[in-house]
Amino acid sequence: MDADHAKAVIADLGLAPDTIDNTDLTQALLVIHAAVGTPESEEARKLLGEVAKAAKKMVADEHLVFLAQYVADERIRKSQFKAATKWLKKAKEMPVDELDVADFEQTTGVGVSYTDDEIAAAVAKTLADNADDLAKLRYQIKATKLKGQVMRSLPFVDSDAVETILQAKMAEALGPMTEADIAAAASGKKGGKKGGKKGGKAGGKAGGKAGGKAGGKAGGKAGASAPDGTDAAPAKSVRTLPVTLDDPATLPDAPVTLKYSQRTSVRHVLSAGLKWSGAPVTVAGWVRTIRKQTTMAFVELVDGSTIKGLQVIVEEDKIGFAELQAAATGASLKVVGTIVESPGKNQAVEIKATTVEILGECSPDEYPLAKSRIKLETMWPLAHLRVRTKVVGAAARVRNVLAMATHEFFQGIGCQYVHTPLITASDCEGAGEMFRVTTLLKEDGLVSEIPATDDGHVDYAQDFFSKPAMLTVSGQLNVETYCAGLSSVYTFGPTFRAENSHTSRHLAEFWMIEPELAFADIHDNMACAEDYLKHCVSTVMAKCSEEINVFDQYVAPGLIDRLYNIVESDFTRITYTEAIRVLEAAIAAGDVSFEKKVEWGIDLASEHERYLCEQVYNMPTIVYNYPKDIKAFYMRLNDDPEAPAPTVAAMDVLCPLVGELMGGSQREERYDVLVERLKEDNMPLEPYWWYLDLRKFGSVVHSGFGVGFERLVLLCTGLGNIRDVIPFPRYPGEALF
Amino acid sequence: MDADHAKAVIADLGLAPDTIDNTDLTQALLVIHAAVGTPESEEARKLLGEVAKAAKKMVADEHLVFLAQYVADERIRKSQFKAATKWLKKAKEMPVDELDVADFEQTTGVGVSYTDDEIAAAVAKTLADNADDLAKLRYQIKATKLKGQVMRSLPFVDSDAVETILQAKMAEALGPMTEADIAAAASGKKGGKKGGKKGGKAGGKAGGKAGGKAGGKAGGKAGASAPDGTDAAPAKSVRTLPVTLDDPATLPDAPVTLKYSQRTSVRHVLSAGLKWSGAPVTVAGWVRTIRKQTTMAFVELVDGSTIKGLQVIVEEDKIGFAELQAAATGASLKVVGTIVESPGKNQAVEIKATTVEILGECSPDEYPLAKSRIKLETMWPLAHLRVRTKVVGAAARVRNVLAMATHEFFQGIGCQYVHTPLITASDCEGAGEMFRVTTLLKEDGLVSEIPATDDGHVDYAQDFFSKPAMLTVSGQLNVETYCAGLSSVYTFGPTFRAENSHTSRHLAEFWMIEPELAFADIHDNMACAEDYLKHCVSTVMAKCSEEINVFDQYVAPGLIDRLYNIVESDFTRITYTEAIRVLEAAIAAGDVSFEKKVEWGIDLASEHERYLCEQVYNMPTIVYNYPKDIKAFYMRLNDDPEAPAPTVAAMDVLCPLVGELMGGSQREERYDVLVERLKEDNMPLEPYWWYLDLRKFGSVVHSGFGVGFERLVLLCTGLGNIRDVIPFPRYPGEALF
């Protein structure tokens, strides 16, 4: 075999250069190429590679050439290929000039072609056959099933053509998606099986609420305003993210070994791509999938550094091949091998193993995640294992990137990180129900042994902190004290709510970010919140592009477009007073109706907030200067003669599909005004002595806001349930692990 | 590699048997041993281990052998070793036969040797040079400084020889320690000034203890063994830190206005120095000091961005001059003016004000921090204001820098940040007393109203989590689950201990960092811990140089030298078995006596740990491979036939003056062994079902360690009480704010 000639042929046909390593395959390709040359059609060129692969099923080279000629002439295409090889295999004893060509052509559909009208007719028939299901399930019907029926009725029809026509006909038959369609989608159930009866708790609820209000809207936009916002949007994003991982230019010329762990990360190998081709490498991780053949095994190896797996090829003569027969999904492996260009289209490179070592086995019979598609809820009791799945692992990586983006942003604007206390004896803000922290209760203690005062009350003087102590609901008041010394600060830590809330948006323990900026007013505050959110989203889009693409495709169609919308919009900023005016005008024009009445002074409900940012402005929207009476005592009183009643410099950042994401305010820095506010709200002054001190001693204008970190992760992943974006969720009745 | 031969070589050289676990090191040892054999001198034998360790800094084996030959011939000894490796590192591209041997020998002092008389003469001269200090400070004089002077006068002199002779000469000059000497040592005060009357609380206490035992010791070492270790070291550092702030080159040509806060930070103005001279600027902050004259006022303005203040000059014709007469320490100001070159020696630039505005006044009669020198303890009840002071503000900045250095380090090595839960229903590790988290107790509740079961026990089924729930004492077990999916992870979050502990080193709520590295063994773990600590310390030295200089000068003399020692040392790593041998040898030689008896199997006490890292090695020291019986069940059982009883792959990082700073282990990854360990410890298996699952499904070798974040801040600031390095400390009886 002339190697240079073989290389040229392989290149001509557009096959991977290392195809040449497979001698048999190359031999067959040379025979084929000598006979039929290089076809013009790309599909045909690629298919000749398949012909060569099929060579060992055939006895004679002449059969190979016979098939190759049909392929080169485009008389046999992808959809017919399987039938063709099958036919030839049966006829393998027959010399080529004795083959029954007519039978061959009929069996493999040579010459068969369909007009669009023919396909449309078949589609129409299939839709008619499924009329009942279609009426019941509408967009929840399983489209792949319908497509299969059409294709069976038109042998060898082109798959793409059927798909296009089927989608058009379904849209024609069903009309635009309705609110109910969206609600059904939101429930997270595929149609058919359970008929969408019993969606995820949260999805169903949120959907029901939103259903009422959006009824009057054009269906076309409904896609973007799916109520729960997460796994509900029915249409895929228009844009995709370039998959970048790490820039190969930032990587050295040879594989980098991770410090303290003698291996190279999967992320680095995939990022480097062909740059490291030919280099020896050691990788370690877990089996995502494994395919075993007699002479070769294919492993998709993951190590958590990226969502993508690394393909590892193990040939039968390699050390560990025998052992590998016992390996299944979840087993841990160490692989020593060489990085080579991959012939597959899913990756630029793969590993050709020299040795494979099974570090830890994983029995498919016992492993709860052995199956490939498991519902997210099913994994809640498996929180110790679920990070190994694609979706939960991707959410964990996004969470990590968001945490670092948060630090980068605030450090970058000169803020210092402050750890405010978790345990506190002051129930200052009254922001919610609090957990008590105590050493008075024992594991198996008797109630009668709990220390009591003479009049039978719990004796907190004997508790650890000598007084009642709670878990904090916010670090804001504490961090304001540091703002009054370090100027610009932020917290990032856990926060607690003892609320008996089982929704998809609430946790008993969650992480919160609370910046507090000295010498900053409400307008500075809004600018900071907008820039922070954009920084977070764009960082995730850059560093987790693979993950976001997967979420967009499988979890939250439209996610990428929504993220671009955040990054590219100049957020709308309107006063509360203006927002009420806009809502009232929309009602008067008959554009919308709400469950809760709109009038100046109400606390905006979720339906109002979402109408504003989704329907009116279609971008993140900041509403500010709220009525004093519905806001906390520490928010700065405005001088706002235009408003019907006093307002305070509060702000809420509302996001399409998500609703309120951040809330903040300029703080009341005037001692007398603050004391007055506390008195008006019938709050005692004494517990606030230290907070008031800040206004006595060198008080300054300052502002801040709070961000629920998990909500930010929901926003960026498109996931629908907050329990899926924190490692070990805590909610009523659940504190496992 | 022939394991038996390798073992024999290791034993021959007197190195720890488990050296063999380090493959690279062993490989280098074999090369060296083959070339130079086993030297007679013990020092040379040990030093060959160091040569092997240096192998990775050298390119070629021949360099290794070149160096080893000098060592074996005792022509290069300990004191010359560093210079030798440094020289070779520079020459690493050079073939061995082209090395400039003459230069090498001269640079490394080959052939240099000093008689005892020569050394004694140099010591005598140094003592004469320091006669005044010696008379005044007696044993409180910094012996390391004297030793340094001697050593500089005799290049490559043997360090031990100098130490011995110096101690003898000092004892000769000063006579035995008097009661006054011991009291001075115990008080932890600099000699002379206050005569050691009134040390810091903690220093006094611990010192009393140490004083008793140190009496019998040579006085020369007293300086290095200051008892409390924190604010006690008696002499200032030999070195200072260059004050850098931000590099002016990184700043634009004109003053940068902070985003969201229309002003320029004090740190930026001081960093830019003359670069911005002549430019208009707006600054805002608080008055640290103010001097008012008839025609001019001088304000030192601080804004928390750095420890330094910015001098502001206000002339009588400027807007605000009159108003300024009412301003005092703590008042907040906004100043518009021009940056001008300062005639003063303390700063390059100052602000010439155009207008000054008092934002918030601060009455000197009411302001608790109006006085300039307030004890740290006095400020505990003023935690809402104390960040405005120099020391607490500086500690807050160091804390911020350390937090970011932590994230940078772990992200830099590919670890992902994981938020492990705070509230937990599993009391797995049993690492300490836990707080209970509950909603069963009400603020003013009656004991009789607490839900009880029929037999009178607290009915946790009615509690928020339907079972007893606690605040976590460690995230380790939880984070291991993420390590088994993301490979390399770390936590950084709050941790709790309900221990009734009032020491200067304990808090009920503190922050902890817990990395967990997949595919990493105990040696990787030690390397990671060492690099992490060095990264933290060097980052603080670079970014908080002003703060560290102030701490060194006013709070913790010697701090800078200690920090350099950490950054520049190759941490000693010895097995527990070796550590016991070293301690026993020191006792046998009469060098030291301990309160707690030293024998294989004991848990090392603080006195042992500090003796090792302060007296024996004088650098951070990692002790590893501890007896199984004194360590936790999850630590990996060693195959350690040399040890008298089974050991586990645990490690502790000990630091001079601080003691144990980090602790960690390789984790037991073998299911059967782990189950056995739990059973041996009489622990139930059931609560660990999920932890055991990790060993069932794709188990991998992994290791990790824990760092008490506040202890790291103590180490870097030299502060003595943990309550001063966390914003709002929680301890028994205290949960204010």
pTM score of the predicted model: 0.73
pLDDT at A383: 96
Of A108, A136, A160, the residue at which a domain comes to its end is A108
Containing B678, the helix (H) or strand (E) segment is helix B671-680
pLDDT at A182: 57
Summarize chain A as % helix, strand, coil (round to 5): 45, 15, 40
Q: How far apart (Å, rounded) are the C-alpha atoms in residues B130 and B124?
A: 10
pLDDT at B24: 81
**Residue in A closest to B481 by C-alpha:** A384
A chain contacts of residue B446, beta-carbon cutoff 8 Å: 456-458
Residue B142 φ then ψ, to 5°:
-80, 105
CB contact under 8 A, A332 and B456: no
CB contact under 8 A, A304 and B485: yes
pLDDT at B1: 65
Q: How far apart (Å, rounded) are the C-alpha atoms in residues B489 and B700?
A: 14
pLDDT at A35 > cutoff 60: yes
A689: CB partners within 8 A, 6+ apart? none
Q: How far apart (Å, rounded) are the C-alpha atoms in residues A269 and A438?
A: 50
CB contact under 8 A, A458 and B439: no
CB contact under 8 A, B735 and A421: yes
- A484 and A417 in a single domain? The answer is yes
- A254 and A318 in a single domain? The answer is yes
Of A372, A392, A415, the residue at which a domain comes to its end is A372
Tell me the average pLDDT across A441-459.
Answer: 93
Cross-chain CB nearest to A260 (options B284, B452, B520): B520
- B513 and B647 in a single domain? The answer is yes
B chain contacts of residue A397, beta-carbon cutoff 8 Å: 416, 486
pLDDT in tens, B162-186: 887 888 788 778 876 665 665 565 4
Mutate to test the interface with B, among A447, A547, A670, A702 (most CBs of B within 10 A): A447
The domain that holds B274 is classified in CATH as 2.40.50.140
pLDDT in tens, A91-100: 888 888 888 8
pLDDT at A204: 31
Residue B392: CA count within 13 A, CB half-sphere: 30
Q: What percent of chain A has pLDDT over 70?
A: 90
Q: How far apart (Å, rounded) are the C-alpha atoms in residues A574 and B654?
A: 58
The domain that holds B714 is classified in CATH as 3.30.930.10
Assess contact for A341 and A690: CB atoms under 8 A. Answer: no
- A480 and A506 in a single domain? The answer is yes
Residue B472 φ then ψ, to 5°:
-65, 150
Tell me the average pLDDT across B550-566.
Answer: 94
Q: Residue A392 falls within a domain, yes or no?
A: no
CB contact under 8 A, A697 and B366: yes
Contacts A–B by Cβ distance under 8 A:
390
Of A174, A192, A213, the residue at which a domain comes to its end is A174
pLDDT at A431: 55
Q: Residue A489: which of B38, B393, B459 has the closest Cα?
A: B393
**Residue in B closest to A443 by C-alpha:** B468
Q: What percent of chain B has pLDDT over 90?
A: 60
Q: Residue B566: which of B590, B597, B595, B531 has the closest Cα?
A: B531
Assess contact for B184 and B214: CB atoms under 8 A. Answer: no
Q: Residue A133 falls within a domain, yes or no?
A: yes
pLDDT in tens, B514-557: 999 999 999 999 999 999 999 999 999 999 999 999 999 999 99
pLDDT band at A180 (very low <50, low <70, confident <90, very high): low
Tell me the average pLDDT across B415-435.
Answer: 84
Assess contact for A646 and A638: CB atoms under 8 A. Answer: yes
pLDDT at A506 > cutoff 50: yes
Residue A599 φ then ψ, to 5°:
-155, 155
Considering only residues B632 and B106, tell me which one the structure prediction assigns the higher pLDDT: B632
Structure-token pair, residue A372 = 């490939």
- B368 and B254 in a single domain? The answer is yes
Assess contact for B92 and B64: CB atoms under 8 A. Answer: no
CB contact under 8 A, A698 and B418: no
Containing B340, the helix (H) or strand (E) segment is strand B332-341
Q: How far apart (Å, rounded) are the C-alpha atoms in residues B473 and B616?
A: 33
Q: Residue B197 falls within a domain, yes or no?
A: no
Tell me the average pLDDT across A472-481.
Answer: 96
Starting at the edge strand that comes first in sequence, how are the strands of the sheet with A647-655 ordered? A416-417, A488-496, A509-518, A702-708, A659-666, A647-655, A621-627, A572-575
Q: How far apart (Å, rounded) are the C-alpha atoms in residues A641 and B340?
A: 44
B chain contacts of residue A411, beta-carbon cutoff 8 Å: 404
Question: What integer best gives the mean pLDDT of chain B?
Answer: 87
- A422 and A353 in a single domain? The answer is no
A501: CB partners within 8 A, 6+ apart? A731, A732
pLDDT in tens, A511-527: 999 999 999 999 999 99
**Residue in A closest to B527 by C-alpha:** A260
What are the E-state strand segments in B348-484? Answer: 349-360, 416-417, 423-424, 436-438, 469-471
**Residue in B closest to A259 by C-alpha:** B413
Q: What DSSP line would sit under B277-293, residue for residue?
A: TT-EEEEEEEEEEEEE-
pLDDT band at A378 (very low <50, low <70, confident <90, very high): very high
Q: Bin B656: left if φ > 0, else alpha if -120 < ψ < 50, else beta.
A: beta
Q: Residue B465: which of A736, A443, A724 has the closest Cα?
A: A736
Structure-token pair, residue A66 = 């016979």
pLDDT at B215 > cutoff 70: no
Tell me the average pLDDT across A292-303.
Answer: 94
CB contact under 8 A, A362 and B696: yes
- Rounded (5°) CA angle B14-B18-B21: 130
Give how many domains chain A has, as a whole number. Answer: 5
A chain contacts of residue B435, beta-carbon cutoff 8 Å: 423, 437-439, 464
Q: Bin A125: left if φ > 0, else alpha if -120 < ψ < 50, else beta.
A: alpha
Which long-range contacts (C-beta less than 8 Å, at least 24 apart) are formed by A240-247?
Answer: A240/A549, A240/A552, A240/A560, A241/A541, A241/A545, A241/A548, A241/A549, A241/A560, A242/A545, A243/A545, A243/A546, A243/A549, A244/A542, A244/A545, A245/A270, A245/A271, A245/A306, A245/A545, A245/A546, A246/A271, A247/A271
Considering only residues A635 and B217, tell me which one the structure prediction assigns the higher pLDDT: A635
Q: How far apart (Å, rounded) are the C-alpha atoms in residues B717 and B167?
A: 30
Least confident of A596-610, B56-70, B658-672: B56-70
- A465 and A594 in a single domain? The answer is no
Least confident of A125-134, A410-419, B445-454, B702-711: A125-134
What does chain A come to in residues?
Answer: 737
Cross-chain CB nearest to B456 (options A419, A446, A494): A446
pLDDT in tens, B228-284: 333 344 467 888 787 767 888 889 999 999 999 999 999 999 999 999 999 999 999
Least confident of A52-61, B95-104, B126-135, B222-231: B222-231
The CA distance from B271 to the nearest CA of chain A, in Å, is 14
The CA distance from A394 to the nearest CA of chain B, in Å, is 10
Tell me the average pLDDT across A501-506.
Answer: 90
CB contact under 8 A, A387 and B482: yes
B414: CB partners within 8 A, 6+ apart? A258, A265, A267, A305, B487, B488
Q: What residues form DSSP beta bridges with B706?
A: B663
Q: What DSSP line would sit under A121-153, residue for residue?
A: HHHHHHHHHTHHHHHHHGGGS-HHHHHHHHHHH
- B354 and B445 in a single domain? The answer is no
Query: What is the β-pairing status of strands A647-655 and A659-666?
Result: antiparallel
pLDDT band at A690 (very low <50, low <70, confident <90, very high): very high
Mutate to test the interface with B, among A419, A509, A670 (most CBs of B within 10 A): A419
Cross-chain CB nearest to B517 (options A260, A699, A736): A260
CB contact under 8 A, A727 and B419: yes
A chain contacts of residue B622, beta-carbon cutoff 8 Å: none
pLDDT at B46 > cutoff 50: yes
- B265 and B342 in a single domain? The answer is yes
pLDDT in tens, B599-613: 999 999 999 999 999
- A499 and A637 in a single domain? The answer is yes
Q: Residue B214 falls within a domain, yes or no?
A: no
Mutate to test the interface with A, among B245, B261, B694 (most CBs of A within 10 A): B261
Q: Residue A182 falls within a domain, yes or no?
A: no
pLDDT in tens, A216-246: 333 333 333 333 333 344 567 888 887 767 8
B chain contacts of residue A426, beta-carbon cutoff 8 Å: 736-737
B chain contacts of residue A509, beta-carbon cutoff 8 Å: 421-423
pLDDT at B232: 41
The CA distance from B337 to the nearest CA of chain A, in Å, is 17
**Residue in A closest to B518 by C-alpha:** A261
CB contact under 8 A, B422 and A456: no
pLDDT at A113: 79
The boundaries of the domain holding residue A463 are 435-471
**Residue in B closest to A400 by C-alpha:** B417
The CA distance from A677 to the nearest CA of chain B, in Å, is 19
A chain contacts of residue B440, beta-carbon cutoff 8 Å: 436, 441
Q: Residue B428: which of A667, A326, A736 has the closest Cα?
A: A736
Q: Residue B643: which of B603, B583, B601 has the closest Cα?
A: B601
Q: Residue B706: which of B663, B649, B648 has the closest Cα?
A: B663
pLDDT at A172 > cutoff 50: yes
Q: Residue A200 falls within a domain, yes or no?
A: no
Tell me the average pLDDT across B9-15.
Answer: 84
- A407 and A358 in a single domain? The answer is no
Q: What percent of chain A has pLDDT over 90?
A: 60
The CA dihedral of B634, B635, B640, B642, to the nearest 10 degrees, is -120
Q: Residue A267: which of A300, A299, A303 has the closest Cα?
A: A303
pLDDT in tens, B505-514: 999 999 999 9
Q: Residue B266: which of B311, B332, B310, B329 has the closest Cα?
A: B310
The CA distance from B481 to the nearest CA of chain A, in Å, is 5
pLDDT at B182: 56
**Residue in A closest to B730 by C-alpha:** A423
What is chain A's Cα-based Rg?
32
Tell me the average pLDDT across A602-623.
Answer: 96
Q: Residue B30 falls within a domain, yes or no?
A: yes
The CA distance from B311 to the nearest CA of chain A, in Å, is 18
Q: How far apart (Å, rounded) are the C-alpha atoms in residues B25 and A574?
A: 67
**Residue in B closest to A396 by C-alpha:** B418
pLDDT band at A178 (very low <50, low <70, confident <90, very high): low
Cross-chain CB nearest to B727 (options A442, A482, A509): A482
pLDDT band at B208 (very low <50, low <70, confident <90, very high): very low
Cross-chain CB nearest to B485 (options A393, A448, A469): A393
pLDDT at A526: 98
- A548 and A682 in a single domain? The answer is yes
Containing A679, the helix (H) or strand (E) segment is helix A671-680
Q: What residues form DSSP beta bridges with B332?
A: B286, B360
CB contact under 8 A, A485 and B387: yes
Assess contact for A330 and A362: CB atoms under 8 A. Answer: yes
CB contact under 8 A, B441 and A437: no
Q: How far apart (Å, rounded) are the C-alpha atoms in residues A168 and A643?
A: 52
Q: What DSSP line would sit under B464-506, residue for residue?
A: TTSS-EEE-S-SHHHHHHHHHHHSEEEEEEEEE------STT-
pLDDT at A429: 53
Cross-chain CB nearest to B362 (options A385, A698, A735): A698
Q: How far apart (Å, rounded) are the C-alpha atoms in residues B563 and B534?
A: 9
**Residue in B closest to A283 by C-alpha:** B519
Q: For chain A, give the longest Cα–Cα distance.
A: 110
- Three-class secondary structure assignment of B134-203: HHHHHHHCCHHHHHHHHHHHCCCCCHHHHHHHHHHHHHHHHCCCCHHHHHHHHHCCCCCCCCCCCCCHHH
pLDDT in tens, B306-340: 999 999 999 999 999 999 998 999 999 999 999 99
Assess contact for B126 and B146: CB atoms under 8 A. Answer: yes
Tell me the average pLDDT across B138-160.
Answer: 81
Q: How far apart (Å, rounded) are the C-alpha atoms in residues A129 and A121?
A: 12
**Residue in A closest to B396 by C-alpha:** A418
Containing A34, the helix (H) or strand (E) segment is helix A23-36
Considering only residues A142 and B575, tell me which one the structure prediction assigns the higher pLDDT: B575
Exposure letters B285-302 (e unless 16+ CB within 10 A, then b): bbbbebeeeeeebebbbb
Neighbours of A30 (CB within 10 A): 17
First and final C-alpha spacing in chain B: 63
Structure-token pair, residue A656 = 């399409």
pLDDT at B194: 34
Q: Residue A385 falls within a domain, yes or no?
A: no
